[in-house]
Structure 1
Amino acid sequence: MIWEIDERARTIEGLDGAGRPRPEYAASLGLIRAPYGRRVLATVLEALVLLLVQLPMLLVVLPAVTGVALDADPVAALAARDDLVLLIVLGAVSSVLSTAFILVQLILLGRRGVTLGKALTGLRAVNVRTLERPGFWRGAVVRYLVMCASTLLPIIGPLLVIALSPLFDPARRGRSWPDLAAATWLVDARRGLNPYDEKRMRIARKTVATDLLDVKTELPSLATPVASTEASAYVPLARNKGGVLGAVRSTPGNVVIGETDAADDEPRSGIPTMVAPAPFAAPQPAPAVEPPLPAGVPAPAAVAPGAIVAPAAGAAAWSPPPLLEDPAPAQAAPAQPAAAQPAPSAPAAAAPAAAAPQPAASVPVSSSAAGSAAVALTLDSGDVIAISGGGVVLGRAPATGPDDVDVLPVPVVDPTRSISKTHWALLRQDGRVVALERGSTNGSILVRGGAEQALEPGRPVEVHDGDTIRFGDRHAVVAIR
C-alpha cells in the first residue's frame, strides 16, 4: 500500500484578498449572528451554575477560614474546631465540581462550539474564518482566560468586556473582546443554519459555490448572429442516447439548430449552435387550408393548451417515450388481405360521415386514476424518466428486490455520493403511484405545497402530480398525466 500526503495548502472559502472573513459569505450560507439578549442570557446561566457549585465553599468553608485567619493563634483555632473534617470535605467537593464543570465547558466549546448556556439558548460558536469548530486552545482556553482576566476589575471589567463589547464590533457581527481574542463567532442555530449540521452545511457551501461559478462573463461566440441582441429560447425537439436535439428561432429568418452534451454521466452544459443565415434559410411552406366540413358535421371543440384529452374509441393510449434507451423497433403486423373487406355501397359509405363522433372534452386525471395514467419523473438535471410497468427504483447502482415485479433499476449520477446505491422507488400499487424509501443513508423527503414529509423506510406514500422528491443532493418532480 502506498500512502500519499497532500502537501497542497487548504483553500478556505469566504475570505477576501487580505485573508479576512467576508460577512456576506456567511450570510449567503444562512448563518445568522447571535442576538445580544441571548448572548447575555447564556453567560448569566453559566455563571449561576458555577455559583451553585461554589455555594458550600462560599457559605461554610470561606467564613470558617476567615474566622481562623483572624484569630491570634490560627493553628490552635483550626485544631480546636470540631467540624474540621466537614470543612475539608466541603471545600474539596466544591473545588472538584467547579474544576470538572469548567473543563467540560472548555472541551464542549472547543470540539462542538457549545456550552451549557449556549445549548439552552440555541447558540453555537464557530471559527470566524473557517466556520467550523473553534478549537480547544485558542477557541476555548484563550476565550475563558480573557473572561477571567476581566474579573480583576470587579463589576466594571465583566460589564465592559463581556456585556458591552459586542455592541462596539467594527464589523457589526456582534463579536465581543473574548471572541476577537479567540477568533470565534457566535451564531443563532434556531433561526438560521446550524453550522454543525454537516449535511446541510455541505449543501449550503455547494449551492453558494455553484452560484458563484454561474456568474461568468459572456464571451463573443461565432455561432451568435451579429444582428441578434436578445437571448434565444431553446426548444427541445427529440431525445435519444446521443443527447437532445433542439432548435432555436432567434430572429425572423434565422434558425439555430443545436445539440446538448452527449455525455451520459455529465450534466448538459451549453448548446453548441449552428446558424443558417437568412439568405440560405429553407422556404416556409404555405399554411395548409383545411377543406370545409360537410353539412351536418359540427366543428371540433377548442381544447385548452396542456389539457389532457380522452382518446376516441379505438385510439391507442399515449405513453411518454423512454429517456435512456432508444425505442425498440416495432414489429410490423401482418397485413390483412384486401379481399376480406367487402366493398361498401354508396349509401353505406355516406353513413359514417353523417354520424361522425363528437370530439372528446378535456378530462382531468386524478390521483385515483394514476394506475392507468402516464407517469414520468423529471430530475433536476432535466432528464425525464418515463415510468412503465410496475415502476422504477433509483440510486447510484440500484438493485431490485424479490418483491419488485416488472420494476426497472435506473442509475442516477451523483459525484458527491449523497445518494445510496439503492435509494428510493416510484411504484404503481393498487391503482396508485407511491414513493417508497429503501433505507438509504441520507433518506428521502416528499415536498408538497411547501410542506416537507420525511419518507419512512419500507412505508409507501402516495404521490400526486407536481410533488417533489428530494433524495440526497438531488431532487425529482412527479408528473401524472
Structure 2
Amino acid sequence: MGDAAPPGRVDPQRPRGGTVIWEIQDETRKVEGLDEHGRARPDYAASLGLLPAPFGRRAAATLVEVLVVLVLQLPLLLAVLPAAIELTRASDPQAALAARGDLVLLIVCAAVSYALTAAFLITQLVLHGRRGVTLGKALLGIRSVNVRTLERPGFWRGAVLRYLVLWGSFLLPLLGPLLVVLLSPLFDPERRGRGWPDLAAATWFVDIRRGLNPYDAKRMRIARKTVASDLADERSELPSLATPAGERRPEVYIPVARSSGGVLGATRVDSAAVPAPTAAPAPAAGPPAPASTPAPAPAPTPAPIPPVAPPAASPAAVPEPAGAPRPPASPGTWAPPALLPDAAAPATITLVLDTGDAVEVAGAGVLLGRAPAADDGLVPTPVLDRTMSVSKTHLAVRRDGEALFVEDRGSTNGSALVRGGAERELTPGERVPVHDGDTIRFGDRFAEVRIARG
C-alpha cells in the first residue's frame, strides 16, 4: 500500500473488490486554553476549577520526602559514617580498615542505604512523570500537571529536568536553595507560584483538596465540555424567531433563556429610533350635509384613553367554540383578549437533550440509556452516546400526575441534577423531584426539563 499519508491528508485505499475506502488521518491536536502566542491562560484553568497549590503545603510535601530519604540513609549515617571518620584519623587507613572485624557489615549497610534511596527516588520520578504525584504530594493533596495541556507532566522534562534543576541548586550551599526554592516562586509573572524548576519543566502544582483533581478523567471531561459550551454560547450569534422583519422598526434582541437546543428570545423596540405615530386617517364622509349647515371644524386628536376593564360575563352567556372566527371590533369598543390556557389542563413535560432532540415524558415516564429495556411501565428511550459514558440502562424519569421525579438506575458514570448553577449527585435508587428549567446530567449527556400547560 505504500507509506501512510501525512497528518491531515486523505488516504485512499482500494481493497479487493473495487470498493474504495477513504481514511482521514488527522493527528494534529488542538490544545485548549492557550492564547494567541501559545501560552497557557490562567483564567481557563480557573474556569475549569483548578486552583494553585499553596506554598506552605508544597514546602511541607518536600520536607516529608526529605525526611523519608534521611530515614533510608540511617544505616549509612549511623554505621558507615562514624567508621569512615575513624579511618580518616588513623595513621594508616588501609591497615585500620583491614583490621576492622565489622567490615562486611559496613559494606552491607552502605549498599542497603544506597539501594533503598535509589529505588525511592526512581519511584518518585516515575510517579511524578506519569501521574503527577509523589509521596509528599499524595499526603498533602497536591498534583503536578503540564501547564499547557493540564495533563501529566511527562517523565524526562516534567520530572527528571525539574529535579536536576532543583538538586543543582544545592551546589551553591545555602544561597542556591534559598534563591531557587524559596524566592523564585515570588517572581512568577502569572502569579501561580511557579519557581524556576517549574518554569524549566513546564509544570504547575494544583490543589485537589479545594479544587478539581486534573487526573479525574470524568470530571475533567465534563468541565472542559461545560467551559467549551459556555464559550460557544457567548460567541455565537443566533437569530431569534421572535424578531419582527419590519424595516421601519429597529429591534434589539434580548436573550431570555438559553439551552442546548437553541435560544429563546424577545424583542425590545428602540423608542428613540421609532418614528412618531402618524394621525389616524379621517373617517369616511357620510351623506352630504345640507347647504345651510356650515362644515364643522376638524376635531382635535383625542388623548389616549386608558384601557377599560371588560364587563363581567353574564351567567347565561354561552362561550364561543374554540377556533370560531371573531367579528372585527367596531371603533371605540373593547376587544376581548385571547383565552389563556386552562391552569388545570394536563402538563406537557419534555426533555430537551443536548443534541436538540426532544423526548416527551408521558404515562408513567421514560427510561434513558444506550439500550434500555421496558421496566415498571416506563417507555424505553435509547440515547446515542459515542463516548460510551451512558450506561445501557442509565436513568429513569418518572411521572406521578403533575409531579416529576428522576432516579439513577445504578449507572457506571453516575447522574446529577443541576439547579440554579448547583449540581447534586444522584444516589442510585433515590427518587429526586425535578422542577421546570432543571438540567439532568447522565454520563456526559445533558437534558433540560421543560414543563408547559395547555
Q: Same fold (TM over 0.5)?
A: yes
Aligned with 1:420 (options 378, 391, 415): 391
For 1:342-375, what per-residue CA distance to the aligned partner results, in whole angstroms no more than 9, with x for missing partners?
xxxxxxxxxxxxxxxxxxxxxxxxxxxxxxxxx6
25-34 vs 182-191, greater mean Cα deviation: 25-34
Partner of 2:424: 452
CA–CA distance in structure 2, aligned partners of residues 443 and 480 of structure 1: 28
After superposition, residues 86-125 of structure 1 pair within 5 angstroms as 86-125=105-144
Partner of 1:78: 97
For 1:116-164, what per-residue CA distance to the aligned partner results, in whole angstroms no more than 9, with x for missing partners?
1111111111111111111001110111111111111222221221122
Is 1:231 matched with 2:253?
Answer: yes
The 3-state SS of whatever aligns with 1:231 is strand
CA–CA distance in structure 2, aligned partners of residues 153 and 203 of structure 1: 46
| Alpha-carbon shift at residue 377 of structure 1 (Å) | 4.6
The 3-state SS of whatever aligns with 2:379 is strand
| Alpha-carbon shift at residue 91 of structure 1 (Å) | 1.0
Partner of 1:47: 66
Is 1:25 matched with 2:11?
Answer: no
Aligned with 1:38 (options 25, 42, 57): 57
CA–CA distance in structure 1, aligned partners of residues 237 and 402 of structure 2: 50
Partner of 1:470: 441
Tell me which amino acid in the other structure corresponds to 2:372: A
Contact 1:233–1:250 (CA under 8 A) maintained in structure 2: no
The 3-state SS of whatever aligns with 2:251 is coil
Contact 2:346–2:402 (CA under 8 A) maintained in structure 1: no
Partner of 2:218: 199
CA–CA distance in structure 1, aligned partners of residues 238 and 23 of structure 2: 40
**Gaps spanning 5+ residues in structure 1: where?**
236-242, 253-285, 296-305, 311-317, 322-374
What is the alpha-carbon root mean square deviation over aligned residues? 4.0
Aligned with 1:438 (options 406, 409, 416): 409
- Aligned pair count reads 366
CA–CA distance in structure 2, aligned partners of residues 290 and 412 of structure 1: 53
Contact 1:110–1:134 (CA under 8 A) maintained in structure 2: yes
CA–CA distance in structure 1, aligned partners of residues 239 and 265 of structure 2: 20
Partner of 2:372: 399
- CA separation of 1:250 and 1:412: change in aligned 2, threshold 3 A: farther
After superposition, residues 240-259 of structure 1 pair within 5 angstroms as none
Tell me which amino acid in the other structure corresponds to 2:346: S
CA–CA distance in structure 2, aligned partners of residues 130 and 140 of structure 1: 16
- CA separation of 1:382 and 1:18: change in aligned 2, threshold 3 A: closer
Partner of 1:261: none
Contact 2:372–2:382 (CA under 8 A) maintained in structure 1: no
CA–CA distance in structure 1, aligned partners of residues 143 and 452 of structure 2: 44
For 1:202-246, what per-residue CA distance to the aligned partner results, in whole angstroms no more than 9, with x for missing partners?
2222222223323337599997544223226789xxxxxxx99x9
Partner of 2:346: 319
Partner of 2:431: 461
CA–CA distance in structure 2, aligned partners of residues 210 and 193 of structure 1: 19
The 3-state SS of whatever aligns with 1:160 is helix
| Alpha-carbon shift at residue 196 of structure 1 (Å) | 1.0
After superposition, residues 7-406 of structure 1 pair within 5 angstroms as 7-216=26-235, 224-226=245-247, 227-231=249-253, 292-293=313-314, 318-321=345-348, 377=351, 379=353, 385-395=359-369, 397-401=370-374, 404-406=375-377
| Alpha-carbon shift at residue 308 of structure 1 (Å) | 9.1
CA–CA distance in structure 2, aligned partners of residues 432 and 219 of structure 1: 33
CA–CA distance in structure 1, aligned partners of residues 408 and 447 of structure 2: 14
| Alpha-carbon shift at residue 471 of structure 1 (Å) | 1.0
Contact 1:53–1:94 (CA under 8 A) maintained in structure 2: yes
- CA separation of 1:468 and 1:129: change in aligned 2, threshold 3 A: closer
CA–CA distance in structure 2, aligned partners of residues 59 and 102 of structure 1: 21
CA–CA distance in structure 1, aligned partners of residues 246 and 419 of structure 2: 43
Contact 1:393–1:407 (CA under 8 A) maintained in structure 2: yes
CA–CA distance in structure 2, aligned partners of residues 453 and 307 of structure 1: 36
The 3-state SS of whatever aligns with 1:63 is helix
CA–CA distance in structure 1, aligned partners of residues 312 and 426 of structure 2: 57
Contact 2:253–2:267 (CA under 8 A) maintained in structure 1: no
- CA separation of 1:250 and 1:393: change in aligned 2, threshold 3 A: same
Superposition TM-score, scaled by structure 2 size:
0.69
Superposition TM-score, scaled by structure 1 size:
0.65
- CA separation of 1:289 and 1:197: change in aligned 2, threshold 3 A: same
177-186 vs 217-226, greater mean Cα deviation: 217-226
**Gaps spanning 5+ residues in structure 2: where?**
1-14, 16-20, 271-306, 317-339
